[in-house]
Structure 1
Amino acid sequence: MGKRKVFAKTDLSIPQVEHSHDAVGNVVILPEAIPPKNTTVEFGRSSSSLRRFNFARWYDSGIDPITYACQRQIERFLAGQDGAVTASTVVGYCQNGLRNFLDCCVLRATAFGRDLALADVNRDLIDGYLGHLAGLGCATTAQKTLYTQTKPVLLALGRRGLIPLVTSGDAATFPRNPFPNSNRKYKSETALSKLERQAFAVALRQAITPIWADDAPVTSDLLACALLVVALHTGRNTTPLLEMGHDCLRPHPKDNIVFLVLWKRRGYNTSKVALRAESDAERLLESTPSVRTNVERLIRRVMTLTEPLDAETPDDLKGRVWLYRARDSKALSRITALNEATLAWATNRLVAEHGLTDSNGKPLRINISRLRKTFANRIFELTDGDLATTAAALGNTLQVADQNYLKPNEDSRRNWQFMGEVLVQELLTRSIGATYKDTPMGHCADPENGQYAPRREGATCMNFMNCLRCKHYAVTAEDLYKLFSFYFRVLAERSRMDKGRWARKYAHIPRLIDNYIVAEGLRRGTFKAVAVEAARERARTQPHPFWSVDLIDSLEVFA
C-alpha cells in the first residue's frame, strides 16, 4: 500500500490578495475585492502609541490595486506571515513608509492620466519615489528612513509574485545603494558630560524621593523617573526597559548581586546586567555613584507599588512593572503602562522643573539613547579604557561599542590641551632641541611650513601620524629611542580598539618603522644593530614621556 498523500491545510484567517492574471501574465486584482469592507488595520498594543491605520484615503484615487495589495500585506505581517515582524515595526511601515509611497503613487497616476496597476510598481516608479522623498525637503538620513520603511512591504509583494521583482542589473526593482555614504551624515546621540550627568542625577534623586513613602502615588511621572534611574545605571535600551516584567530580577551565583534580565525583541534574546543587592557599606552601582539609591531596591519597590494593579490590567500588559492608573477625559480610570510618549513627556517635565541645561544654556536633552551612551563612557572610564569590558556591559560587539558609543572623556581632552600647549611652547622656544628643530618623532626640517604642517603663522605641526611619510622628516641614531617609543605606543592601540579599525589606521606604522626606516638605516650603516636593540628595549620598558600611555589616552589627536 502506497503512502497517503498529505494535503496542506490553509488557514482561511490569513489575509490573501484576491487576484487573477491577464493574458500577458500580469497580476490583476478582482474588481469586487476593492475596496475591502474594512479599510482600517488594527495594530494592537505595542511600544508605539499608534493603534490603527486607515487606508481609506487612497482608495478611489487611481491606485486601488496597489493600495489593496499594501493593506493586505500589512495585515499578513500582523498575522505573523512573511517574516517575524513586530507590531511596532509594522506601525513604521504604515506611518512612515506607505503613507509617503501611496501619496507618490497618487501623484504619478494623476500625472499619467490613468490608473496605476501592480505591474507599474517597477524601477521607474521606485526612482520616482526616491525623487518624491527628496522633494519633501527633509534630510538625506530622514529620506533613507522613509525608504527603508517602504521597501520591506514592496519586497514581500514581489516575493509573492504580486509585483514584478527584478533582483539584478540596471533594471533591478530596488537600486543597490540609493543613499551612498548616508552613514556619515547621521548625528548620533552624545554622552552627557560629567557636570550634566551629576546635575541630572541630583534631579532624579529628588524626583523619586516620594516613591519610598507609605502612601506613594503611582503616577506616570514618578514611574518614568524611576525608569530613568534604572536606565542611567544599566545602560539598557528603551523597549526592553519599558517591557520589563515582574520576573526581571534573577538570582546571581555571587552573594549580594542579582541579575536584571530584559527581553530584546530585535535580537530575540535576553539581555543580562548584574546589579548589586542592597548594601549600605558599599558604593552603589559604579556607573553613576552620585545617584545614591540602590537599583535593585528601587525596582523591587516599584514592583510592590504596581503589583496590585495587575489584576485590573489588560491581558497584553499583565506582568509588566511600569503600571499606573491613568484618567482620560471622561474621568474614567484605566490601568496602562509607560510607553515612549509618556516617558518623553515626563522627562521633559523633569528637565523643566529642575532647570537642567547644557553647556550652551539650552534645556538639557535627555533620552534613553543618551543615557546608554553615558553608561558606556562611564564604564570605559572606570575600567581604564578596557574596550572588552565596556562592550560586554553594553551587550555589543567590540566594533559596535568602539565606533558607536565611545568618545574621548574630559580628562583626556584636558590632557591633550595641556600637552599640546606645552609641546607648542617647547617647539616655539626651541627648548626641545637647542638649535635644531627637534620633535617627539625625531627631526623635522620645517615644523611650521612642512608637508603636513598647518602653515599658519605661529602654528607648529603636530601631525605626528604622518611623519613617516613626510619629506621633511629625518631620523638620527639619537632619535631611535623616541621612534621606538612611538612604535610601541602604536602597538598598544591594538588592545584598545577593534581589529578592523586598528588595521585601517595604525597597522602600517610599525611595518614602515621596521621594514623601511630601521632596515634602511642598518643597511646604510647609519644605525648600529647594538644601538637599535638598546633603543628598542629601553622604549619597551621605559617609553619616552611624550608617548607614555599614562599621558596619552588615544592617538586620534595626531591623526
Structure 2
Amino acid sequence: MGKRKVFTKTDISVPQVEHDIDTEGNVVIWPEAIPPAHTVVSFERSPTSQRKFDFARWYGSGVDPITYACQRQIERFLAGQEGTLSVATVVSYCNCGLVSFLDFCVLQSMASERELTLNDVNRSLIDGYLRHISGLVVATTSQKNYYSKTKPVLVALGRRGIFPLVTSGDDATFPRNPFPNSNRKSKGETPLSKRERQEFATALRQAIKPIFINDTPPTSDLLAYSLLVVALHTGRNATPLLEMGRNCLRPHPKDDTVFLVLWKRRGYNTSKVAVRAESKTERVLEAMPSVRVNVERLIRRVMAVTEPLDSEAPDDLKGRVWLYRSRSKNSTSLVTSLTQRMLEAGTARLVAEYGLKDSDGNPLRINIARLRKTFANRIFELTDGDLAITAAALGNTPRVADQNYLAPSENDRRNWRFMGELLVEELLTATIGATYKENPLGRCADPVNGQFAPKREGATCMNFMNCVRCKHYAVTAEDLYKLFSFYFRMLSERSRMDKRRWAREFAHIPRLIDDYIIAEGLRRGSFKFAAVEAAKKHARTQPHPFWSTDLIASLEVFS
C-alpha cells in the first residue's frame, strides 16, 4: 500500500498580488484588483506612534501596478511573510522608503506620458531613483536611508517573481554599492562631557523625587525621567528600555547585585547588565558616581506604582513597566505605555525646566544614544582603557565598541594638539621625523628616558625585547623589514633554548606583532597587505644584519 498524499494547507488570508503572466512572460495585474477595496494599512502597537499608512494618494497617478504590489508586500511583511520584521521596521519602509520611491515613479510616469508597470522596475529605473534622491536637499546619509528602506520591499517582490529581478552582471537591478564610504560621512552622537553629565544627573535626581512619595500617580514625564536614569546608568538602547517587562530584575550570584535583563528585538536575544542592588548602606553606582541613586530600587519603585494599572492595560501592553493613565482628550483614563515620542517630550521638558545648557550655551541635547555613548566612555575611563570590559558592558564586540562608541578623552585631545604643534614645527624647520630615533626594531620617541630605558645620563635603551610593549615605540611601513627580521629571530630561538623558558620569556612577542602591530596597521590602512607580505618574505630569506645569528649569537644581552 503506497503512502497517502499529504496536501499542504495554504492560508488564503495572506495578501497576494493578483496577477497573471502574459505570453511574453510579463506580469499583468488584474484590472479589477486595482485599486484594492482598502488602501489603508494598519499597524499594531510599536515604539513608533504611527498606526496606519494610506496608499490612496498614488492610485490613479500612473503607477497603479507598482503601488498595488508595494501595498501587498507591506501587508505580507505585517503578516509575517518573507521573514520576521518588527512593526517599526515596516513603518520605516512606508514612511521613508516607499514615499520617496512612489513619488519618483509618479514623476517618471508624467515624464514618459504613460503608465509605469512592474516590468519597468529595472536597473534604469533604480539608477533614476538614485539620481532623484541625490538631487534632494538632504545629507548623503539620508539619501542612503531612503534607498535602504525602499530596496527590501522591491527585492521581496522580485524574489517572488512579481517583476524580473536581475541579481548579477552589469544589468543587475540594484547596484552593488551606490553610496561608497557613506559611513565616514555620518557624525553620530557624541558623549556628554563631565560637566554636562554631572548637571544632567543632578537634574534627574531632583526630577524623580516625587515617585518615592506615596500616592503619587505615574505620569509620562515622571516615567520618562526614571527611564533616563536607568539609561544613564546601564547604557541600554531605547527600544529594549521602553519594552522593559516586569520580570526584568533577575538574581545575581553576588548578594549585592542583580541582573537587569532586557529583550533585544533586532538580535532576538536578551541583553543582560549587572546593577547594584539596594543595601543597608546606600552606595554610589560605580559607573556614574555623580548620581547617588540605586537603579534597582528605582525600577522596583516604578513597578510598584504601576502595578495597579497592569490589569487595565491592553493585552499587548500587559507586563510592561512604564504604564500610566493617558490624559489626552481622545483617550482619557485609558492605560498606555511610554513611547519614544513621550520620552522625547519629557526629556525636552526636563532640559527646559532645569535650564541645562551645553558648552555653547544652547539647550543640552539629550537622547538615549548620547547616554549610551556617555556610559561607554565612563566605563572605559573607570577601567583605565580596558576595551574588553567596555565592550562587554555594552554588549558589543571590541571592534564595534571602539569604532562606534568611544570618543577621545581630554588627555588624548591635549596629546593630539601637542603632536600637531610638534609636527608643524618639524615641517617649518625641515626636521620632520627628528622626533623618532631609528633603532634595530623600528623607531623610538625617547631612547634615553623611555618606558623601559635605563634612565641614566648618557645611557641609551638597548632593551629591544620590550620594544613591542613600549608606548614610545613606533612602526612605519619602512620598518616592517626590521620588525619581521626580529620576529623570525624570536621564532628561531625555540630550537636553541628550553621550550618552557621560550614560552615564558619570548612567546608573547610574535603574538603581539601579529595580533596588534600588523593587524592594527592593516585595519587602519597604515600598512598595505602586499608590503607586509613582501617584508615578511624578505626577512625570512635575508634577515636584517642586526638580527642575524652571525652578528648576535644570543638575545640575552637585550633582555
TM-score tier, shorter chain, comes to 0.7 to 0.9
Look up the match of 1:323: 323
User: Are residue 487 (structure 1) and residue 468 (structure 2) matched?
Assistant: yes
User: Does structure 1 residue 501 correspond to structure 2 residue 473?
Assistant: no
Distance apart, 1:333 and its partner CA: 2.4
1:254 aligns with 2:235: no
User: Are 1:79 and 2:60 an aligned pair?
Assistant: no
Cα distance between partner residues in 2 of 1:497 and 1:341:
44
**Matched AA of 2:207:** A
In the alignment, structure 1 residue 19 sits paired with structure 2 residue 19: yes
User: Structure 1's 245 and 524: CA in aligned 2 closer, same or farther, altered over 3 A?
Assistant: closer
**Correspondences of 1:417-436 after superposition (within 5 Å):** none
More displaced, 129-138 or 493-502? 493-502
Contact 1:386 1:496 in 2 (8 A): no
**In 1, Cα distance between equivalents of 2:330 and 2:219:** 18
Partner residue in 1 for 2:171:
171
**Structure 1 residues 460, 137: closer, same or farther in 2, change over 3 A?**
same
Report the CA distance shift for 1:464/1:181 in structure 2 as closer, same or farther (over 3 A): farther
Deviations along 1:305-335, whole A, 9 cap, x unmatched? 1111112211111111001111113572221
Q: Is the CA contact 1:158–1:165 (under 8 Å) kept in the aligned structure 2?
A: yes
Residue type matched to 1:410 in 2? E
Q: Distance in 2 between matches of 1:161 and 1:494?
A: 52
Post-superposition shift, 1:479? 5.1
Letter in 2 for 1:278: E
- Aligned partner of 1:456 in structure 2 is 428
SS in 1 for 2:334: strand
- Give the whole-Å Cα distance in 1 for the aligned partners of 2:202 and 2:434: 41
1:520 corresponds to which residue? 545
- Following TM superposition, by how much is the alpha carbon of 1:487 offset from its aligned partner in structure 2, in angstroms? 3.2
Matches within 5 A, 1:96-495: 96-281=96-281, 283-330=283-330, 332-414=332-414, 453=426, 455-456=427-428, 464=436, 480-481=461-462, 486-489=467-470
**Structure 2 equivalent of residue 28 of structure 1:** 28
- Give the Cα–Cα distance (whole angstroms) in 2 for the partners of residues 163 and 208 of structure 1: 56
Could you tell me the percent identity over the aligned residues?
A: 60
Q: Secondary structure at the match of 1:259?
A: strand
Pick which of 509-518 and 317-326 moved more.
509-518
The residue that corresponds to 2:61 in the other structure is: 61
How many residues get paired? 506
DSSP-derived class of the 1:25 partner: coil
What does the per-residue CA deviation read over 1:289-310, in whole Å, with 9 as the maximum and x for residues that have no partner?
1111100000000001111111
1:58–1:102: 8 Å Cα contact kept in structure 2? yes
Distance in structure 2 (CA, Å) of the matches to 1:188 and 1:497: 27
1:529 shift after superposition? 6.6
- The whole-number CA distance in structure 1 between the counterparts of 2:181 and 2:161 is 32
Q: Mean alpha-carbon deviation: is it higher for 5-14 or for 458-467?
A: 458-467
What letter corresponds to residue 468 of structure 2 in structure 1? Answer: Y
Q: Is the 8 A contact 2:235 2:373 kept in 1?
A: yes
Q: Give a deviation string over 1:415-443, Cα, whole Å, max 9, x none.
A: 666x769x96xxxxxxxxxxxxxxxxxxx
Tell me, what secondary structure is at the counterpart of 2:428?
A: coil
Distance change >3 Å, CA 202–CA 170, structure 1 → 2: same
Q: How far apart are the structure 1 equivalents of 2:438 and 2:239?
A: 45
Worse-superposed segment, 88-97 or 378-387? 378-387
Tell me the SS of whatever aligns to 2:335. strand
* Secondary structure in structure 2 of the residue aligned to 1:150: helix
8 Å contact kept, 2:236–2:372: yes
Equivalent residues of 1:19, 1:29 under 8 A apart: yes
Measured against aligned partners, the alpha-carbon deviations of 1:60-100 in whole angstroms (never above 9, x if no partner) come to 11110000000000000000001111100000000000000
* Structure 2 Cα separation of the partners of residues 237 and 254 of structure 1: 25
In 2, are the aligned partners of 1:263 and 1:271 still within 8 Å (CA)? yes
Unaligned runs of 5+ residues in structure 2 are 449-457, 474-508
Partners of 1:372 and 1:290 in 2: CA distance: 16
Distance 2:147 2:286 in 1: 41
Secondary structure at 2:214's aligned position in 1?
coil
Deviation at 1:283, TM superposition (A): 2.9
Q: Would the aligned equivalents of 1:399 and 1:497 in 2 still touch at CA under 8 Å?
A: no
Letter matched to residue 520 of structure 1: P
Q: Which residue of 2 aligns with 1:50?
A: 50
Give me the whole-angstrom Cα distance separating, in 2, the residues matched to 1:464 and 1:345.
Answer: 54
What are structure 1's unaligned runs of at least 5 residues?
425-446, 538-559
Q: What's the secondary structure of 2:188's corresponding residue?
A: coil
Does the CA-based 8 Å contact 2:306-2:321 persist in structure 1?
yes
Q: Deviations over 1:256-304 (max 9, x none)?
A: 2111110000000001111111024363321101111100000000001
Q: Which amino acid aligns with 1:61?
A: S
Larger mean Cα displacement after TM superposition, 4-13 or 477-486: 477-486
Shift of 1:12: 1.1
Contact 1:323 1:337 in 2 (8 A): yes
Task: Say if 1:104 and 1:181 are closer, same or farther in 2 by CA, change over 3 A.
Answer: same
Q: Distance in 2 between matches of 1:480 and 1:285?
A: 44
- Cα–Cα, structure 1 residues 97 and 295, in superposed 2: closer, same or farther, change >3 Å? same
- In the TM superposition, residue 25 of structure 1 has moved relative to its aligned partner by 0.8
Letter of the 1:291 counterpart: V
**1:113/1:507 Cα in 2 relative to 1: closer, same or farther (>3 Å)?**
closer
Match of 1:80, SS state, is coil
1:507 to 1:486, Cα distance in 2 relative to 1, 3 A: farther
Residues 497 and 25 of structure 1: CA distance in aligned 2, closer, same or farther (over 3 Å)? same
Q: Is the 8 A contact 1:42 1:53 kept in 2?
A: yes
Check 1:182–1:113 CA distance in 2 against 1; reply closer, same or farther (3 A cut).
same
Hey, what's the Cα distance between the residues in 2 that align with 1:114 and 1:78? Answer: 32
> Aligned pair in 2 of structure 1 residues 169, 345: CA closer, same or farther (>3 Å)?
same
Q: TM-score, normalised by structure 2?
A: 0.82
Hey, what's the Cα distance between the residues in 2 that align with 1:498 and 1:456? 30
Change (3 A) 1:66 1:256: same
Does the 8 Å contact 1:306/1:321 carry over to 2? yes
CA distance in 2 between counterparts of 1:415 and 1:519 reads 34
Q: Over aligned residue pairs, what C-alpha RMSD do you find?
A: 3.6
Counterpart for residue 430 of structure 1: none
Aligned pair in 2 of structure 1 residues 125, 174: CA closer, same or farther (>3 Å)?
same
Whole-angstrom distance in 1 between the partners of 2:368 and 2:518: 29
